[in-house]
Amino acid sequence: DSSGNEFLQVHRSLRKGDIVAVTGFPGKSKKGELSIVPKSIVLMVPCLHDIPSGRGDGKYSLQNKSIRYRQRHLDMLANGMEVKEVFKTRAAVISYIRKFLDDIEFLEVETPVLYDSSGGATARPFITHLETDNVRALSMRIAP
């Protein structure tokens, strides 16, 4: 039928990671999941890089721990719920520690990460420049 052909045509033009605008109405899938019954789908922003799958069985799997920790957004896209649980647990632990320290009247103070001059450590500092102020060099602090 024409709607099946139209669906295949739209489905072939979209990739995992594309941002789309959908016009339609809420409904349920055959499995009973809440969904949107689309009347129109417009590609807003195409995904320019392949998003890895988390299964580890495909060409684009994301199993490398180094990449998973440095690019958390990819890890969440590829490995979904298991990564979400780790983030929820981490947020709960941090929240608990903050509340505990607040209750005993500790004060949280944020310190700058970039300084005009480096000092206090024997390590060679990372030097950078701000786009708005390219005249002076800034040093990133060594200690967290």
- pLDDT one-digit tens code per residue, 34-78: 999 888 888 999 988 877 765 555 555 577 778 778 888 878 877
Mean pLDDT, residues 106-121 taken together: 77
Mean pLDDT, residues 96-100 taken together: 96
pTM of the predicted model, to two decimals? 0.50
Q: What is the pLDDT of residue 89?
A: 94
The neighbouring-strand residues paired with 19 are 45
Q: What is the pLDDT of residue 93?
A: 97
Q: What is the pLDDT of residue 94?
A: 95
| ∠ CA 65-47-70, rounded to 5° | 20
| ∠ CA 75-81-84, rounded to 5° | 70
- What secondary structure letter does DSSP report for 42? E
